[in-house]
């Protein structure tokens, strides 16, 4: 049965190439000072979605919430093979914390994209590093969530068999559809854009871009939009009304999080010793515990 | 380097001066392709944006994904197990990426899932692939085989194979060389026997076949029993099958990632491509000419990689209390390396552009026969056929020198496996040999030089107004033209075939230098920022041109007369 897979993606500052005044005095990130990129683990989520589509058929829908320029990662998604992309963008969404963000995304899904089979998102974003939005979306949608999901092993009727990457162990779980997965870097190597799709979708435009495009082409905005729609190049853009959002729950008013202070924390390395998971390993662990007088 | 396209100012310069407006309009059928295909461009400006987007992506893929794999590909190499060729892991990974990104049919029409790009853009792509991993270029550039099927095959073959080539599902090989037919392909003996049903079977042995393990191959074979020369040879297409046995793969000095196979044909089923007897004289010559421009691009890419390594090393290596790049002998060496790379690139792109223009004129003539078009095609064709061997000869010899110099700049370190330059020098070495040795390119180029076609070409480059600041360069360019034409006249009057052959390499070297001088002058005319580069090359080249002219016009037959004493 064909799958409807929704991928949640975020445009983030390129924290690998930090330059200039990156932090604002209030402790939040000055996004304009950094190049914007596709959050790396969201690319892993997109790749997982595309591979599932190749295996089982269906469609991959990518949603991002962000300022108008976040449309760049949606164009990128189209060039990598996404079937449909949606930009959630509204001035009133600005300054959302994870609670408001997950509300907005869940609201968009519930309003327009039901029913679906899976929501895939990156394990966490490299800017906030909270890893909260995915799980919160699952809660709001009332569906199962599997974090650190690095493989979808099989889809068995209404259930999905998933492998979790727990660093030094793997766990295999069975979850009922629909399910939300958060995908770590170890899951796959994201594909590059496809040249033919790139040649097509480089011309895709969001609602925010049509005015400039109309001016460039010397045509009316309506004409340009109609033309873009006809060629499948108009990127859907949803604001608060489009998703029936309660204004009190979006943007700054829906965000209880306050940044109190930012400090540089150096994590002190603890003494870590690894034992192999076999009889010899257990034997040497017990011997050591006895010798150290932890036991006996 | 993070991106072999955007981070290379010289490629950027050429991209900003593509001069392909007429070619692209014709390729895109005056932009009516866009009515049928949503990835086709709407105008020349739109096409350029699309080309840039694709090349930027290739620049990133080659720099970030493929280049880091190259040292391990070199160590692992392609291997041969149980009669099968297995690519090195990095080679396979790179091929998968290129295929998945639809980059394996750059010039093929969209109908076959290609990108419908001009050849010049393909040359740029080859260069970036070679800069990342020279051996991968041998597989990437097998696109030329699909191109040959496109040009000479029937619809049946095209529909069957081209989409598969473009998607990277199958790879190709061009199977020409035999133990006793290397440079002399007229001596090919592989036997093609016609079957009652009109198909053919192939019998014999082929050697030194790049990617001989391919799914689909074009084979040069003798279809006319009793013939001994090129007119008895035809081109066939065959698929991988049990009758086609890979005997072994070669252990080579370089390009380890590219498998070089010895093949035995035990009655391999094959179909004829095009017409009988036209195999060598028409189809293989076309295939080889494409491959020669490709090798020129490969050579430029390898040299660029070596130059980048040498520059980086010279900046950071401190001896005598200063970075060695501050030593005049070192920075002059680097400046010469860079200048030769620039010239090789300019010549290679110019050759590609002429081939693109020739294809355009052929297309236009097919649609509408016209005497003026035919005359123009004849002229452009004569230029393309002389610039192709010149590009191959110049770029490949340049790559051997530049990679060698890159080792020299590294000193002892450069001789060690830990640095990339020894690999680059080994990889570069093949470029002067395969797809026709430099000596064969000299034979090909000499024809066009002595016929006057090359002189005409240079004249239309150089006989125009230049900015006053370029007066000295323009006059040196004129001198280079005059020297070359005086040598051509001398050889005609001297009328000694052996002597002409003896000095032909000098004549072609002169032609390469003269062409470089002209192309750099034109760059300086269009962009004052290129003036110093033009001056550097011209001042290095003119003394060489004068020396060669002296030698050629001396009529000195010492080596011919006293050959036995001298050897």
State the residue for tokens 């999080």.
A257
Shortest distance between the Cα of B113 and any Cα of chain A, in A, equals 8
Q: What are B251's two structure tokens?
A: 């252990």
B324 to chain A, closest Cα gap in Å: 30
Partnered with residue B191 across adjacent β-strands are: B203, B222
Question: Which chain B residues touch A202 with a CB distance below 8 Å?
Answer: 49-50, 53
Give CA separation, B85 vs B76, B208, B244, B328, in Å. Answer: 13, 14, 13, 48
Active-site pick, B435, B482, B501, B525: B435
* Nearest-CA distance B57 → chain A (Å): 8
Domain spans of chain A?
3-254
Instruction: Report whether A195 contacts B115 (CB < 8 A).
Output: yes
Candidates A196, A203, A219, A228, partner chain B, best to mutate (most B CBs within 10 A) = A196
Where do you find CATH 1.20.120.470 in chain B?
Answer: 439-556
**What is the distance in angstroms between the CA of the first residue and the CA of the last residue of chain A?**
59
What was the ipTM of the complex prediction?
Answer: 0.91
Of B224, B12, B236, B41, the C-alpha closest to B124 is B12
CATH H-level, domain B9-168+281-432: superfamily: Butyryl-CoA Dehydrogenase, subunit A, domain 3 (1.20.140.10)
Query: Would you call B65 a catalytic residue per the annotation?
Result: no
Q: Do A197 and B65 touch (CB under 8 A)?
A: no
CB B260 within 8 A of CB B239: no
CA distances from B466 to A291, B207, B367, B513, B518 (A): 89, 51, 38, 20, 12
Distance separating alpha carbons of residues B353 and B522, to the nearest angstrom:
15
What is the pTM assigned to this prediction? Answer: 0.92
Q: Where are the alpha helices (DSSP H) in chain A?
A: 40-56, 71-80, 98-112, 133-141, 195-201, 210-217, 221-230, 279-291
Cα–Cα distance measured from residue B484 to residue B521, given in angstroms and rounded to the nearest whole number: 17
User: CA separation (Å) from B535 to A19, B260, B518, B521, B531?
Assistant: 38, 42, 11, 8, 6
Give domain B172-277's CATH architecture. Beta Barrel (2.40)
Buried-state track B492-530, b at ≥16 Cβ within 10 A, e below 16: eeeeeeebbebbbbbbbbbbbbbbbbbbbbbbbbeeeeb
Give Cα separations from B325 to B311, B321, B334, B384 (angstroms): 8, 12, 9, 39
Concatenating the DSSP letter of every residue in B360-413 gives HHHHHHHHS--HHHHHHHHHHHHHHHHHHHHHHHHHHHHHHHHHHHHHHHHGGG
Terminal Cα-to-Cα distance of chain B (whole angstroms): 48
Write the CB contacts of A28 (distance below 8 Å, at least 6 apart in sequence).
A259
Interface contact flag, B57 A198, Cβ < 8 Å: yes
- B480 sits in which H/E element: helix B471-494
Judged by CB atoms closer than 8 Å, whether chains meet at A193 and B103 is answered as: no
Burial of A292 (0-12, 13-18, 19+ CB in 10 A): exposed
3-state secondary structure A52-72: HHHHHCEEEEEEEECCHHHHH
| CB pair distance less than 8 Å for A199 and B61 | no
Q: Which residues of chain A does B103 touch, with a Cβ-Cβ cutoff of 8 Å?
A: 195
Q: B37 to chain A: nearest residue by CA?
A: A200
Q: Do B54 and A194 touch (CB under 8 A)?
A: no
Contact flag A195-B49 (C-beta cutoff 8 Å):
no
Chain pair A-B, CB pairs under 8 angstroms: 45
Strands A118-122 and A179-183: parallel
* Residue position matching structure tokens 């072994």: B248
Nearest Cα neighbor of B409 from B325, B305, B321 is: B325
Cβ neighbours of A193 in B, within 8 Å: 57, 101
Alpha-carbon gap: A171 to the closest alpha carbon of chain B (Å): 28
Q: Strands B233-239 and B200-210, how do they pair?
A: unpaired
**From B40, B54, B65, residue closest to A195, measured CB to CB:** B54
Of A193, A202, A231, which is closest to B50 when you measure between CB atoms?
A: A202
Q: Which of A187, A241, A210 is nearest to A7 (CA)?
A: A187
> B-chain residues within 8 Å CB-CB of A199?
39-41, 50, 53-54, 115
Considering CB atoms only, which of A192, A200, A231 is closest to B57?
A192
Please give the DSSP secondary-structure letter assigned to residue B191: E
Return per-residue pLDDT of chain B as tens, 567 residues. Answer: 899 999 999 999 999 999 999 999 999 999 999 999 999 999 999 999 999 999 999 999 999 999 999 999 999 999 999 999 999 999 999 999 999 999 999 999 999 999 999 999 999 999 999 999 999 999 999 898 999 999 999 999 999 999 999 999 999 999 999 999 998 999 999 999 999 998 999 999 999 999 999 999 999 999 999 999 999 999 999 999 999 999 999 999 999 999 999 999 999 999 999 999 999 989 988 888 899 999 999 999 999 999 999 999 999 999 999 999 999 999 999 999 999 999 999 999 999 999 999 999 999 999 988 999 999 999 999 999 999 999 999 999 999 999 999 999 999 999 999 999 999 999 999 999 999 999 999 999 999 999 999 999 999 999 889 999 999 999 999 999 999 999 999 999 999 999 999 999 999 999 999 999 999 999 999 999 999 999 999 999 999 999 999 999 999 999 999 999 999
Q: What is the sign, positive or negative, of the torsion defined by CA atoms of A12, A15, A21, A25?
A: positive
Residues of A in contact with B113 (CB under 8 A): 196
Contact between chains at B101 and A232 (C-beta distance less than 8 A): no
Q: Which residue in the set A192, A194, A202 is minimally distant from B49, CB to CB?
A: A202
Q: Chain B partners of A232 at a C-beta cutoff of 8 Å?
A: 38
Contact, B341 vs B300, CB < 8 A? Answer: yes
Does CATH place domain B439-556 in 1.20.120.470? Answer: yes
- Judge contact between B262 and B307, C-beta under 8 A: no
* Residue B301 contacts residue B129 (beta carbons within 8 Å): yes
In this complex, do A231 and B50 lie within 8 Å of one another by their Cβ atoms? no
d(CA B149, CA B235) in angstroms, rounded, equals 10
User: What are the tens digits of pLDDT across the range A214-255?
Assistant: 998 889 999 999 999 988 999 999 999 999 988 998 888 888
Asked if the A3-254 domain carries CATH number 3.40.50.620, the reply is yes
Give the Å distances, CA to CA, from B131 to B62, B77, B298, B514. Answer: 8, 18, 8, 27
CA dist B327 to B308, B334, B535, Å? 18, 11, 21
Which two tokens mark A37?
A: 């990129």
3-state secondary structure A85-132: EEEECCHHHCCCCHHHHHHHHHHHHHHHCCCCCEEEEECCCCCCCCCC
Chain B: closest CA distance from residue A64 (Å): 23
Contact yes or no for B431/B302 (Cβ under 8 A): yes
- For residue B188, CA distances in Å to A187, A275, B98, B293 come to 52, 66, 34, 24
Other beta carbons less than 10 A from residue A142's beta carbon: 9
**Distance between alpha carbon B268 and the CA centroid of its chain, in Å?**
30
């Amino acid at each position: 049965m064909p799958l409807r897979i929704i991928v949640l993606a975020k445009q983030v500052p390129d924290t690998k190439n930090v330059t200039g005044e990156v932090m604002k005095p209030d402790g939040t990130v000055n996004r304009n000072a950094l190049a914007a990129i596709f959050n790396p683990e969201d690319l892993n989520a997109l790749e997982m979605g595309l591979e599932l589509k190749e295996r089982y058929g269906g469609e991959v829908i990518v949603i991002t919430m962000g300022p108008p320029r976040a449309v760049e990662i949606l164009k990128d998604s189209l060039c990598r093979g996404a079937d449909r992309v949606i930009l959630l963008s509204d001035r009133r969404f600005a300054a959302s914390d994870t609670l408001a963000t997950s509300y907005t995304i869940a609201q968009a899904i519930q309003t327009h994209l039901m029913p679906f089979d899976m929501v895939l998102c990156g394990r966490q974003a490299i800017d906030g590093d909270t890893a909260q939005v995915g799980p919160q979306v699952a809660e709001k949608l009332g569906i199962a969530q599997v974090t650190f999901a690095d493989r979808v092993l099989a889809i068995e009727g209404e259930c999905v068999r998933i492998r979790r990457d727990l660093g030094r162990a793997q766990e295999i779980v069975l979850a009922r559809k629909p399910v939300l997965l958060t995908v770590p870097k170890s899951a796959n190597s994201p594909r590059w854009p496809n040249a033919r799709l790139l040649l097509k979708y480089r011309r895709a435009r969001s609602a925010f871009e049509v005015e400039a495009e109309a001016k460039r082409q010397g045509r009316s905005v309506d004409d340009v939009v109609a033309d873009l729609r006809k060629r499948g190049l108009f990127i859907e853009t949803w604001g608060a009304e489009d998703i029936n959002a309660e204004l009190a729950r979006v943007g700054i008013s829906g965000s209880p999080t306050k940044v109190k202070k930012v400090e540089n924390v150096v994590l002190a390395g603890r003494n870590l010793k690894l034992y192999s998971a076999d009889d010899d390993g257990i034997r040497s662990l017990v011997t050591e515990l006895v010798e150290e007088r932890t036991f006996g | 380097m993070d991106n072999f396209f955007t981070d290379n100012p010289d490629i950027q310069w050429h991209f900003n001066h593509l001069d392909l407006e007429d070619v692209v309009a014709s390729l895109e059928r005056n932009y009516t392709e866009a009515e049928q295909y949503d990835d086709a461009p709407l105008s020349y400006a739109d096409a350029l944006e699309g080309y840039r987007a694709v090349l930027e992506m290739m620049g990133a893929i080659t720099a970030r994904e493929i280049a880091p794999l190259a040292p391990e590909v070199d160590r692992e190499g392609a291997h041969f197990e149980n009669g099968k060729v297995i690519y090195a892991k990095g080679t396979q990974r790179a091929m998968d990426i290129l295929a998945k990104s639809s980059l394996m049919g750059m010039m093929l029409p969209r109908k076959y899932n290609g990108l419908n790009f001009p050849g010049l853009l393909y040359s740029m792509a080859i260069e970036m692939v070679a800069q990342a991993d020279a051996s991968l270029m041998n597989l990437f550039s097998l696109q030329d085989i699909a191109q040959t099927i496109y040009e000479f095959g029937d619809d049946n073959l095209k529909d069957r194979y081209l989409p598969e080539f473009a998607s990277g599902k199958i790879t190709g090989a061009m199977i020409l060389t035999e133990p006793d037919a290397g440079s002399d392909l007229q001596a090919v003996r592989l036997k093609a026997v016609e079957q009652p049903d009109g198909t053919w079977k192939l019998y014999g042995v082929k050697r030194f076949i790049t990617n001989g393990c391919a799914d689909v191959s074009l084979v040069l074979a003798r279809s006319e029993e009793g013939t001994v020369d090129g007119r008895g040879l035809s081109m066939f297409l065959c698929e991988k099958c049990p009758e086609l046995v890979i005997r072994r793969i070669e252990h080579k000095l370089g390009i380890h990632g590219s498998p070089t196979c010895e093949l035995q044909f035990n009655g391999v089923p094959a179909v004829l491509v095009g017409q009988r007897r036209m195999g060598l004289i028409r189809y293989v010559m076309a295939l080889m000419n494409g491959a020669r421009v490709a090798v020129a691009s490969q050579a430029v890419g390898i040299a660029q990689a070596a130059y980048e390594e040498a520059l980086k090393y010279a900046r950071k290596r401190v001896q005598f209390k200063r970075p060695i790049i501050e030593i005049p002998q070192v920075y002059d060496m680097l400046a010469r390396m860079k200048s030769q790379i620039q010239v090789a690139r300019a010549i290679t792109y110019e050759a590609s552009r002429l081939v693109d223009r020739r294809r355009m004129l052929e297309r236009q003539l097919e649609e509408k026969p016209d005497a003026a078009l035919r005359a123009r095609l004849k002229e452009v064709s004569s230029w393309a056929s002389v610039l192709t061997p010149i590009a191959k000869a110049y770029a490949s010899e340049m790559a051997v020198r530049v990679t060698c110099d890159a080792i020299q700049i590294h000193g002892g370190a450069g001789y060690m496996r830990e640095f990339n330059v020894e690999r680059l020098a080994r990889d570069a070495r093949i470029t002067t040999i395969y797809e026709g040795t430099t000596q064969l390119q000299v034979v090909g180029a000499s024809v066009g030089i002595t016929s006057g076609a090359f002189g005409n070409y240079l004249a239309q480059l150089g006989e125009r107004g230049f900015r006053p600041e370029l007066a000295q360069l323009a006059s040196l360019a004129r001198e280079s033209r005059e020297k070359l034409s005086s040598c051509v006249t001398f050889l005609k009057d001297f009328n000694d075939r052996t002597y002409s052959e003896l000095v032909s390499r000098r004549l072609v070297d002169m032609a390469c230098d003269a062409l470089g001088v002209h192309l750099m002058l034109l760059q300086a005319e269009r962009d004052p920022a290129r003036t110093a580069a033009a001056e550097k090359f011209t001042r290095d080249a003119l003394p060489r041109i004068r020396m060669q002219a002296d030698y050629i016009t001396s009529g000195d037959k010492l080596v011919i007369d006293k050959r036995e004493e001298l050897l």
